[in-house]
Structure 1
Amino acid sequence: MPWILGRQIAGHLSLRLQQLDVRCETKTKDNVFVNVVASVQYRALADKQVMLSTNSAILEPRSKPTFLMAMSAYGYEIVQTLIVDIEPDEHVKRAMNEINAAAD
Structure 2
Amino acid sequence: MRERFGKFDGVMEPGCHFVPWFLGLQARGPLSLRLRQLELRCQTKTKDNVYVTVVTHVQYRVLAGKASHAFYTLTNTRSQIQAHVFDVLRASVPKLTLDEVFEKKKDVAEALEEEVAEAMAPYGYEVARALVVDVEPEEGIRNTI
Do both share a fold (TM > 0.5)?
yes
Q: How does 1:18-97 map to 2 (within 5 A)?
A: 18-48=36-66, 64-65=114-115, 67-91=116-140
Stretches of structure 1 that go unaligned for 5 or more consecutive residues are 52-62, 94-104
Between structure 1 and structure 2, the one with the greater Rg is 1
* Residues 19-73 of structure 1 deviation map (CA, whole Å, 9 limit, x = unaligned): 1111111222223221111111111111139x8xxxxxxxxxxx742x3222112
Cα RMSD (Å): 2.7
5+ residue gaps, structure 2: 1-18, 70-110
Find 1:8's aligned residue among 24, 27, 32: 27
Whether the 8 Å contact between 1:37 and 1:84 is mirrored in structure 2 is: yes
CA contact (8 A) 1:2 1:8 kept: no
Could you list the structure 1 runs, at least 4 aligned residues long, displaced by more than 6 angstroms after superposition.
Answer: none
Overall identity of the aligned pairs, in %: 48
